[in-house]
Amino acid sequence: MSIFDNIKRNLEKVSDYLSLTNAEKELLLSHKRITKATLNINGKVYEAWRIIHNDALGPAKGGIRFHPNVCEDEVKSLSFWMSLKTSLAGLPYGGAKGGVKINPKELSEEELEKVSRAYIRAFHEFIGEDKDIPAPDVYTNPKIMGWMLDEFEKIKGRHEPGMITGKPLELGGCVLRGDATSKGGKIILDLFLEEEGKSPEKTNVVIQGFGNAGMNIAKMLHDAGYNVIAVSDSKGGIVDKTGLDIEKVIKTKKETGSVTQYPKAEKISNKELLELETDVLILAALENQITKENAENVKAEVILELANGPVTSEADDILHERGIVVIPDILANAGGVIVSYCEWCQNKTGHIFSKDYMEKILEEKLTQAFRKTYDLYKEQKRFSMRNAAYAIAIRRILDAEKARGNLD
Ligand code: NAD
């Protein structure tokens, strides 16, 4: 099953509740613009995409991924999730995504800069602060956003910092952006556990993925008293059921490139990590990690999707039946795009917001999105939290399409 097939399947699950017409389904499953280019760098050719799913609510928004497995199906799926995420968070944005099929680990810094600039030369016509606004995603970072902004402004001959978010601070970036996704994930997890009457001190956590999202949330949860017992990266995982010293694990990751080099814990495979007994399993790597093949073996009580699409639609059904709650990506990882929204507002207005003000916006928007989702999830007995989040997000997009006269 392709990733986008999972989306189609998930849409069917809320179709009756929303009384979706064929025209509405067709619109939701189509993309407003699919652009593809080949980037020629030092005699090598790389495929690249920028895809807008929907922009009825405002300019499209979504990150750019550099990864060897990037393909059109993945970028289409990620752009769909961005439309739902921005809608659920109540932001004035649509959804988009970009990607380059490349392994950045094999590139020199100079080559990486060439790829970043070539990407903007290929897609600059379709990007802009009121059209489509990129940001970092897997294996892209503020430095890359800085090169991209520079290339864009050179082509256009004017400043337009709001064309991209997640930039370095010196170029109009936002103080909160670096760890906003993790901060948001923690806010959502805290809210959920409070509803379920569980305290951080009594909560064991396992985290798959130790990059921007996974490493930052590991630190935040550890500092808040949660017991982080296992973490992993692409090379494998480590476990210590009495709790890992996260500061030291981070130091090991930074010095050696992998958590697996941390000497004071047992080494495990990523497969084993996903099947550990724990209260909370946080998925912070890539999509399709829990599938119908391993969903029966998951022993976590709650899964927090910090990554996009880590649980397939079929796995969702198995987990739901087994009473395992999945807090869906479009809610759990919305912190990044909410802070990107603050960055964009600053760039467009010239105002500089205080850190406190932006933290308040982050907390308010996530709390509102959580409340709406949780209440519908509790009200509709057969709904998973994903069904509830999808229903709310889709309704807002369709209302905007109707207000534009694009749907009856
Ligand atoms: P990143 O590149 O900083 O980190 C990815 C991490 O995943 C790395 O530690 C890598 O080693 C690990 N990894 C890769 N394959 C793995 C595997 N098979 N098993 C275990 N670990 C593996 O990326 P990130 O920004 O942290 O993004 C992670 C996920 O979160 C992605 O799905 C991304 O779309 C999503 N996300 C990120 C943000 C953000 O602001 N960073 C926002 C929303 C969603």
Q: CA–CA distance from 207 to each of 268, 269, 303 (Å)?
A: 13, 13, 10
User: Which tens digits make up the pLDDT trace of 174-185?
Assistant: 999 889 999 999
Output the CA 308–ligand 1 centroid distance in Å: 9
Catalytic residue selected from 13, 61, 97, 186: 97
The domain that holds 354 is classified in CATH as 3.40.50.720
pLDDT at 381 over 90: no
End position of a domain, from candidates 120, 149, 173: 173
Ligand 1 proximity of 138 Cβ (cutoff 6 Å): yes
Q: Which of 275, 134, 152, 284 is nearest to 220 (CA)?
A: 284
Supply the range of the domain harboring residue 130.
31-173
Ligand 1 atom 22, closest CA: 234
End position of a domain, from candidates 153, 173, 193: 173
Ligand 1 proximity of 306 Cβ (cutoff 6 Å): yes
Output the CA 188–ligand 1 centroid distance in Å: 18
Query: Could you tell me if 126 and 206 lie in one domain?
Result: no
Atom index in ligand 1 nearest the CA of residue 285 equals 7
The domain that holds 141 is classified in CATH as 3.40.50.10860
Output the CA 236–ligand 1 centroid distance in Å: 14
Query: Could you tell me if 339 and 258 lie in one domain?
Result: yes
Query: Could you tell me if 345 and 405 lie in one domain?
Result: yes
pLDDT at 1 over 90: no
User: Which tens digits make up the pLDDT trace of 202-220?
Assistant: 999 999 999 989 999 999 9
Query: Could you tell me if 151 and 205 lie in one domain?
Result: no
Distance CA 137, CA 123 (A): 17
User: pLDDT band at residue 404, thresholds of 50, 70 and 90?
Assistant: very high
What is the overall mean pLDDT for the chain?
Answer: 97
Atom index in ligand 1 nearest the CA of residue 210 equals 9
Q: What is the DSSP string of 40-64?
A: EETTEEEEEEEEEEE-SSSSEE--E
Sort 255 into a burial class: Cβ within 10 Å, 0-12 / 13-18 / 19+: exposed
Distance CA 309, CA 290 (A): 9
Query: Could you tell me if 298 and 353 lie in one domain?
Result: yes
Ligand 1 proximity of 274 Cβ (cutoff 6 Å): no
Position 392 scores a pLDDT of 98
End position of a domain, from candidates 173, 190, 206: 173
State if pTM tops 0.75.
yes
Position 177 scores a pLDDT of 82
Ligand 1 proximity of 86 Cβ (cutoff 6 Å): no
How many structural domains compose the chain?
2
SS3 205: strand
97 flagged as catalytic? yes
Distance CA 222, CA 241 (A): 14
Query: Could you tell me if 241 and 372 lie in one domain?
Result: yes
Query: Could you tell me if 221 and 338 lie in one domain?
Result: yes
Position 299 scores a pLDDT of 98
Output the CA 185–ligand 1 centroid distance in Å: 14
Query: Could you tell me if 203 and 153 lie in one domain?
Result: no
Position 185 scores a pLDDT of 98
Position 80 scores a pLDDT of 98
Task: Name the strand (E) or helix (H) holding 317.
Answer: helix 313-321
Output the CA 232–ligand 1 centroid distance in Å: 11
Ligand 1 proximity of 260 Cβ (cutoff 6 Å): no
Ligand 1 proximity of 145 Cβ (cutoff 6 Å): no
Ligand 1 proximity of 54 Cβ (cutoff 6 Å): no
Distance CA 34, CA 50 (A): 6
Of the two residues 397 and 408, the one the predictor is more confident about is 397
Ligand 1 proximity of 212 Cβ (cutoff 6 Å): yes
CA triplet 214, 7, 303: central angle to 5 degrees? 35
Output the CA 170–ligand 1 centroid distance in Å: 25
| Mean pLDDT computed over 88-94 | 98
Tell me if 175 sits within 8 A of 362, measured CB to CB: no
Q: Which of 144, 233, 270 to mutate to test the pocket of ligand 1 (most atoms within 8 A of CB)?
A: 233
Query: Could you tell me if 90 and 183 lie in one domain?
Result: no
Query: Could you tell me if 245 and 382 lie in one domain?
Result: yes
Q: CA–CA distance from 192 to each of 9, 200, 276, 331 (Å)?
A: 26, 11, 21, 12
Ligand 1 proximity of 181 Cβ (cutoff 6 Å): yes
Query: Could you tell me if 80 and 132 lie in one domain?
Result: yes
Ligand 1 atom 18, closest CA: 234
Tell me if 374 sits within 8 A of 195, measured CB to CB: yes
Task: Name the strand (E) or helix (H) holding 233.
Answer: strand 227-233
Output the CA 22–ligand 1 centroid distance in Å: 35
Query: Could you tell me if 134 and 265 lie in one domain?
Result: no
SS3 327: strand
Share of the chain above pLDDT 70, in %: 100
Position 348 scores a pLDDT of 97
HSE-CB at 209 with a 13 A cutoff on CA atoms is 23
